[in-house]
Structures are given as structure tokens and as C-alpha cells.
């Protein structure tokens, strides 16, 4: 979970900015694939990327990068369900599997796998680094079983794939950013990152050569073709562009290692009476309640001051009654206690569609025309303890779509400056399915207009109210 204190100078934190990431939804079998025309160096290479996993895995293996020439041969870099990083190869099985577990869905991790099978020292043939530090403690260390000069398969003419493997299995879920493959050179992580004055590992621009079949994916484009306008565009100069499968323009986000946006924590375990019973997807921005009980989730970023804006698209997949609540607690003792919470509740049914405000247990209908698929809005002012609620661009007490909110006429007052966690409490009944899609600035749903806050951050459907900001680490460094 991310807690950022006020520090100012957010734009100066990163000399090298990563502008985009690509969001992979494991349930969609989303992938990028590249089939080289000619063979490069299959003995020596470096793989570098940043990942923010969603940890809602449906299988044991969640392949990040793989090559599989045939059913019996493979090379795979994997984030396992338990959180281990695994590099496996058909010639030696599990070559490296970490003891450390990497399972924080709110964090960006920098991963570097540096390979050189020609090295006479087995421990130097495969080296794994996380956030600039070499992993030295392994649950499995099979490097001695991978004989010297045995190729690693990466860099050859066989299909290479990001997310899953060429047999159609083991898809990755989460975000990937700044993905490098350098062929012919075993590099240290300092080629791609550095430690700043605060002791934090941050990205750095790579300035070396890429070799045959090398590539750099920055995910700046939104096209689906295998060219320089596609999501899999190679910007190294080699034009090794990747084909795009089951990815859409909405999967290109500005949630990156240099500006981390809020999501809902998929690893949250409720201590309340009803345990969580929901499915998370789209990089932990989509929340589906499919069983007849309450389902909970809480935000990955806490705020204690400032003015914040979010959007929530809520739909129901069946008939009958269902509801969804996006709340900010008045007390930190129990963030899902109706007597403590404040926010909005959406009631959806075949005969009753409305948006109600929830204020310390009291419910008041404020929009009777809220329909399935509408977008509920929240503007939260923790500096003055106020909240405004909106429906599809119209703010309730302002009775208009203005970006200037009436500070004397909020929908909810009395919010204190304790650390806040945005939270969801979704309930459904019968055969209905409630779907809640949260936009903290990294929308999982299609945006028709494209609005940013005053700092230029986020991608919102409606105009961000004056003085309010999307929930990301750069804004928190300045206003949180």
C-alpha cells in the first residue's frame, strides 16, 4: 500500500520519465508476440522491465516473457502465483526460483534477468536483479545444471511472447512498462536504473546498443497493428514490432513507475463478518461481485489531506436488486461500518435505479435517474472536510456540470483529516452480478472525452473540478 507524504517538487523526482504502461488482463489471454526473421545471439542477453502485478492469478504460472520452439523445449520468465520470480529452461528445469515473494499489487518492481551461458562460472550464467539488487537466495538454483555454452533460446528465430507462451497458456495479469531486450550483452541493472538521493531505485534511460532481435517497448501507441503505431511498437530502431492480441487502447495507461496510480488491493482480506467474494481484473481497477454477499476492496493509496477526484462506472449483469458503495470512512476504526462511512451508494434493479449519498449511516437519494452504466463522481476535500457527488457530469447540489463546486453547499461534511482509504462495499442478490469499474486516473473503461487534472495527470470521462486532482503519487507528493 502506498502512503506518500507531502514533499513538493514531484516533477523533479525522475530525470528519466516513463510515460506509459500496458495493462494485461489475464482473463483475456492478452499477449504480444514477435517472430524474428533471423537468429541473433542465443547465449548472451539481458531482459529488463518494470511490472505491477494484479495477483489475481488463475494458474500457477504467469509468464511474462517466453519462447517455446516446440512442445518439449522452452525458456520462460515467470511471476508465480505465490509471488516468486522464476526462470525456467527445458534444458535444466527451474534455473532460478526466488525465496523472496513479490506480491504487492500497489508496487512497481524493476526486474532484470542477465544471461551468459559462455561463462565458465555457473553462478554467473544467469543473474536476477529486483530493484537494482541481485537475488542471491533461491528456493531453487539450477544454474549448474545448465551446461556451459547451452543456448537460452531467447534471441533465436522461434516465436517470442510477452504474457503467456506460444502454446496458449500461462497469461500474465498486471502492468508492464519500459520493456527492454538486449541481445548479445549481459548487462547490470545500472544500465536501466539508478538509486536517487533518497535511496530509491528509479528508472534510467538505456543508452547502449540492442543487438540482433533486440527491442525496446514503451507502450506509447494505441494501435493494434504490428507496426510503429501499434501497442507493441519497438522504439529501439530495430523495428522488431510485436503483434497485438486481445489488447485495446484502454490498456495503454499512464500508471507507471514514475507516477503510480491508485488501484483496489486484490490481496485485501476483510476482518468484517462477510469475507471478500469478488473477482479483480484490469490491473485491479475492475471489481465483480458474483455471489450473494458483501464484497470488499480498499484503495492502494492513502490520503490525509488535499482535494481528490475519482469516477466509478457501475453496471449490473442481471435483473433484481444489487448495490455498490464507494466510501470514505469518517473513522479509521472500521472502514466498512455504515455508521462510520461516507460516500455514495448505487441501487440498481429492474424497477429502481438511483444514486444515494451515505453519511454516517444515513441514506438520502440524490439522483433518481442513475442507470446501469452511468458514471458516479466523487470530489473529496480533506482540507475542509467536504464531499460532492455527481452523476454523468452533473454535480448534485450545484445542479450543473460546472468544474467549479459550490464550497458552501457540499453533499457531505464533517470528514476529518485522518488517513483515508477509498473503499468499495458491493452487494448483490440472486443471480445478479455487480460490476464496479474504478477510475482514479487510469480508467479501465473507454473514455470518450479524455480530461486530465490541472497538472496534466489522469484520463477522466468528465472535467476534473477546479482545485481537485487524480489519485497518483506525483499529486500526492505535492498535495497529499
H/E stretch holding 475 reads: helix 473-479
Q: Distance from first CA to last CA of the chain, Å, rounded?
A: 15
Cell numbers 470530489 correspond to 379
Beta strand 31-34 with 243-245 is: antiparallel
**Location of C-alpha cell 499529486:** 475
What is the model's pLDDT at position 225?
A: 97
**CA–CA dist 181, 215 (Å, integer):** 5
Residues of the chain with pLDDT under 70: 1-13, 56-59, 71, 266-278, 290-295, 317-341, 349-352, 399-401, 416-421, 427-432
Q: What is the CATH number of domain 18-253?
A: 2.60.120.200
Distances (CA, A) of 328 to 197, 276, 277, 348: 35, 18, 21, 21
CA-closest candidate to residue 152, choices 212, 68, 210: 68
Q: What is the DSSP letter of 373?
A: T
Cβ(89)–Cβ(197) below 8 Å: no
Distance, in Å, from the CA atom of 267 to the CA atom of 200, rounded to the nearest integer, reads 24
Residue 291 burial by Cβ neighbours in a 10 Å radius (0-12, 13-18, 19+): exposed
Q: What is the domain partition of the chain in residue ranges? A: 18-253, 278-479
Which residues, other chains included, contact 303 with Cβ-Cβ below 8 Å and sequence gap of 6+?
380, 382, 419, 420, 471, 476, 480
Q: What is the pLDDT of residues 102-123, one digit of tens each?
A: 989 899 999 999 999 999 999 9
pLDDT of residue 275: 41
Position 168 scores a pLDDT of: 81
User: Is 435:286 a contact under the CB 8 Å cutoff?
Assistant: yes
pLDDT at 324: 57
Determine the pLDDT at residue 403.
Answer: 82
> Is there a contact between 193 and 202 (Cβ–Cβ < 8 Å)?
yes
d(CA 221, CA 230): 5
Nearest to 415 by CA among 308, 276, 258, 268: 308
Q: What is the pLDDT of residue 57?
A: 55
Interacting residues of 262 by C-beta distance below 8 A, sequence separation 6+: 2, 299, 300, 301, 422, 440, 441, 471, 472
Q: What is the pLDDT of residue 271?
A: 39
Separation between Cα atoms, residue 52 and residue 70, nearest integer Å: 30
What distance in Å separates the CA atoms of residue 266 and residue 295, rounded to the nearest whole number? 11
CATH homologous superfamily, domain 278-479: SPRY domain (2.60.120.920)
Q: Of 20, 1, 21, 23, nearest to 173 (Cα)?
A: 23
Question: Do residues 95 and 126 lie in contact, with contact meaning Cβ atoms separated by under 8 Å?
Answer: yes
Quick count: other Cβ atoms within 10 Å of Cβ 317?
A: 14
Grid coordinates standing for 252?
Answer: 495503454
| 18-253 and 278-479 agree in CATH topology | yes
Give the pLDDT of residue 276: 45
Separation in Å, CA 120 to CA 47, 128, 182, 473, 480: 21, 18, 21, 45, 52
Give the pLDDT score at 48: 98
Amino acid at each position: 500500500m502506498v502512503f506518500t507524504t507531502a514533499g513538493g517538487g514531484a516533477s523533479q523526482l525522475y530525470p528519466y520519465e516513463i510515460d506509459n504502461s500496458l495493462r494485461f488482463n489475464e482473463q483475456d489471454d492478452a499477449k504480444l508476440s514477435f517472430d524474428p526473421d533471423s537468429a541473433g545471439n542465443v547465449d548472451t542477453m539481458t531482459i529488463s522491465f518494470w511490472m505491477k502485478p494484479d495477483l489475481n492469478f488463475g494458474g500457477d504460472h504467469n509468464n511474462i516473457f517466453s519462447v517455446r520452439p516446440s512442445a518439449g523445449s522452452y525458456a520462460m520468465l515467470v511471476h508465480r502465483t505465490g509471488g516468486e520470480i522464476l526462470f525456467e529452461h527445458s534444458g535444466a528445469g527451474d534455473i532460478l526460483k526466488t525465496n523472496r515473494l513479490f506480491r504487492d499489487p500497489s508496487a512497481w518492481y524493476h526486474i532484470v534477468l542477465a544471461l551468459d551461458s559462455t561463462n565458465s562460472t555457473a553462478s554467473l550464467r544467469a543473474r536476477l536483479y529486483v530493484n537494482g539488487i541481485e537475488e542471491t537466495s533461491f528456493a531453487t538454483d539450477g544454474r549448474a545444471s545448465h551446461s556451459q555454452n547451452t543456448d537460452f533460446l531467447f534471441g533465436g528465430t522461434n516465436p517470442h511472447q510477452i504474457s503467456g507462451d506460444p502454446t496458449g497458456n500461462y497469461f500474465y495479469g498486471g502492468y508492464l512498462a519500459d520493456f527492454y531486450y538486449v541481445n548479445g550483452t549481459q548487462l547490470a541493472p545500472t544500465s536501466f536504473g539508478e538509486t536517487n538521493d533518497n535511496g530509491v531505485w528509479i528508472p534510467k534511460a538505456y543508452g547502449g546498443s540492442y543487438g540482433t532481435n533486440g527491442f525496446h517497448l514503451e507502450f506509447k501507441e494505441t494501435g493494434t497493428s504490428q507496426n510503429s503505431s501499434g501497442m507493441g511498437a519497438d522504439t529501439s530502431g530495430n523495428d522488431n514490432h510485436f503483434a497485438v492480441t486481445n489488447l485495446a487502447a484502454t490498456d495503454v495507461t499512464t500508471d507507471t513507475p514514475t507516477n503510480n496510480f491508485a488501484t483496489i488491493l486484490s490481496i485485501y482480506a476483510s476482518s468484517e463478518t462477510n469475507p471478500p467474494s469478488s473477482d479483480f481484473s484490469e490491473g485491479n481497477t475492475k471489481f465483480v461481485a458474483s455471489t450473494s454477499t458483501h464484497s470488499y476492496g480498499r484503495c492502494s493509496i492513502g490520503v490525509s489531506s488535499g482535494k481528490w477526484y475519482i469516477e466509478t462506472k457501475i453496471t449490473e449483469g442481471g435483473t433484481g436488486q444489487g448495490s455498490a458503495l464507494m466510501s470514505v470512512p469518517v473513522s479509521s476504526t472500521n472502514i466498512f461500518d455504515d455508521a462510520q462511512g461516507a460516500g455514495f451508494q448505487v441501487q440498481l434493479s429492474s424497477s429502481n435505479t438511483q444514486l444515494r449519498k451515505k453519511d454516517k449511516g444515513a441514506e438520502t437519494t440524490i439522483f433518481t435517474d442513475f442507470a446501469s452504466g452511468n458514471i458516479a463522481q466523487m470530489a473529496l476535500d480533506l482540507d475542509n472536510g467536504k464531499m460532492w457527488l455527481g452523476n454523468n457530469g452533473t454535480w448534485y447540489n450545484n445542479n450543473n456540470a460546472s468544474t467549479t463546486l459550490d464550497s458552501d453547499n457540499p453533499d457531505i461534511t464533517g470528514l476529518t483529516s485522518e488517513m483515508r482509504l477509498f473503499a468499495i462495499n458491493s452487494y448483490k442478490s440472486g443471480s445478479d452480478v455487480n460490476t464496479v469499474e474504478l477510475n482514479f486516473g487510469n480508467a479501465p473503461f473507454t473514455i470518450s472525452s479524455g480530461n486530465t487534472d490541472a497538472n496534466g495527470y489522469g484520463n477522466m470521462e468528465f472535467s476534473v473540478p477546479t482545485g481537485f486532482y487524480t489519485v497518483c503519487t506525483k499529486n500526492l507528493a505535492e498535495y497529499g
